[in-house]
Chain A
């Protein structure tokens, strides 16, 4: 089992995240994809004893994730866990994410903050956005409560699908879940507690929120406009 962590300028946070994963005692390979950081992220990862895969320049969160998927495929991994580099995700919950896949119940597991009340607070606008995309996802054929969760477990079938050229560079959220669902892959959610991101702005904050909404709507339309199974 491989854990991949996309990271961009996370010099101060990545070390403790790797330590926290190691302290679970699970037999895991940890690979951090340094997406062209300008700080000492790669050196911090090496110091923490994990594998670092460096992009020569910044390409975006989705591109970093995809590098991790391709690495896992080449390593022959049957199961991959993806986590964020800012310490939002609790590594103690890795077994909970992995178990449904190991039992063969599904192909992709999402750690959801909203499946059961976990006390996670989201701003009003983001909550509205989440509910809108949740509703649109349901109409399009994917039923999830936390489409923006970056805490996921994927099996090899999902990795093969996500390693293709049309995987988005920037925001792989409900659109890639929809792509997986329309390709016949089974998605399941498990409850996951998460910390608030310590970063001042998130991937979906500020002006990017408008682009995010536009991009998701267009991608979802394009996916549903294609015949099922041809993804």
Chain B
């Protein structure tokens, strides 16, 4: 099959109307993700500081599926044959990015735990040696107003 035929076939794939069912499924998925994030925040299981990425993914997926022409353009740009493969590819990129992000956070958390453990060890040594408590204490605080 020559190159021109392949390109024409790819255009046919890309121009083919998408199933409305897939669109609805994607919307349900994005809304479910949004609801799960909100429920976790409400239950204090997830801190608000860690939500922007998940709310962003949820809103992004919702908007991307709403405008399929945007996804078609992305598919053409990436050299993909179908919109769904583009979504899978972008999803994979996101998962790789988030894995890397968590690896960085884990490294930082590891460093901090080590630092804390060392601080505790040094404090314990000072306590054992009787050094803690010999520092000048501040004036004890009762209000005098």
Interface on A for B, CB 8 Å cutoff? Answer: 1-2, 26-31, 50-51, 56-57, 75, 77-79, 95, 98-99, 102, 165-166, 168-170, 211, 214-215, 218-219, 221-222, 225-226
In the complex the two chains form, what is the Cα distance from A99 to B143 in whole Å? Answer: 10
Complex contacts, B119 vs chain A, CB 8 Å: 56
Partner among B38, B112, B116, B143 whose Cβ is within 8 Å of the Cβ of A27: B143
Considering the complex, give the chain B residue whose CB is closest to the CB of A166: B44
14 A-B pairs (CB sep. < 8 Å): A26-B144, A27-B141, A27-B142, A27-B143, A27-B144, A30-B138, A56-B115, A56-B119, A77-B141, A95-B145, A99-B145, A166-B44, A169-B49, A222-B44
Task: Give the distance to chain B from A121, nearest Cβ to Cβ, in Å.
Answer: 30
Contact status A215-B142, CB under 8 Å: no
CB pair B48–A226 under 8 Å, yes or no, is no
Whether A102 pairs with B145 at a CB distance below 8 angstroms is: yes
Nearest opposing residue in chain A for B112, CB measure: A57
Q: B17 in the interface, Cβ–Cβ < 8 Å?
A: no
Residue total for B at the interface (Cβ-Cβ under 8 A): 21
Flag if A29 contacts B138 (CB, 8 Å): yes
Residues of B near A169 (CB, < 8 A) are 49
Determine if B42 is an interface residue (Cβ-Cβ < 8 Å).
yes
User: B133 — which chain A residues lie within 8 A by C-beta?
Assistant: none
Q: How far is the CB of A169 from chain B (nearest CB, A)?
A: 7
Bitwise interface map of B from 38 to 78 toward A, beta carbon under 8 Å scored 1, else 0: 10011010011101100000000000000000000000000
Decide if B145 touches A222 in the complex (CB within 8 Å).
no
Contact check, B143 vs A102: say whether CB atoms are below 8 A apart: yes
* 7 new A-B contacts at CB < 8 Å, known A1-B141, A26-B143, A222-B44: A28-B139, A28-B141, A29-B138, A56-B112, A77-B141, A169-B49, A225-B42
Question: Which among A50, A98, A168, A221 is the interface contact of B138 at CB below 8 angstroms?
Answer: A50
Q: Are A98 and B145 in contact (CB under 8 A)?
A: yes
A222 close to B144 (CB less than 8 A)? no
Residues of B within 8 A of A78 (CB): 142-143
State A6–B47 Cα separation when bound (angstroms).
22
Closest to A164 in B: B44
Q: Which B residues are in CB contact (< 8 Å) with A50?
A: 138
Q: Contact at B143–A218, with CB atoms within 8 Å?
A: no
Q: Are A168 and B49 in contact (CB under 8 A)?
A: yes
Q: A-side binding surface: helix, strand, loop or mixed?
A: mixed
Please state if B52 and A27 are interface contacts (CB–CB under 8 Å).
Answer: no
| Contact across chains for B42 and A226 when beta carbons are under 8 A apart | yes
Check B145 against A168 for contact (C-beta < 8 Å): no
CB-nearest residue of chain A to B116: A56
The interface residues of chain A lying within 8 Å CB-to-CB of B51 are 218
- Which residue of the partner chain A has the closest CB to B141? A29
From 106 to 145 in chain B, residues with beta carbon under 8 angstroms from any chain A beta carbon are 112, 115-116, 119, 138-145
Contact A211 B52 (CB under 8 A): yes
Contact across chains for A98 and B143 when beta carbons are under 8 A apart: yes
The 3 A-B pairs of least Cβ separation, nearest first, read: A29-B141, A27-B144, A1-B143
Which listed residue, B48, B138, B142, B144, touches A218 by the CB 8 Å rule? B48
Find chain B residues with CB under 8 A from A51 CB: 138
Distance of A78 Cα from B143 Cα, bound (Å): 9
Contact A218 B41 (CB under 8 A): yes
Q: Are B48 and A79 in touch, CB under 8 angstroms?
A: no
Residues in A with CB closer than 8 Å to B140 are 29, 75
Complex CA gap A97/B145 in Å reads 11
Tell me which residues across on chain B come within 8 A of A57, comparing CB atoms: 112, 115
Closest beta carbon of chain B to A109's beta carbon, Å:
13
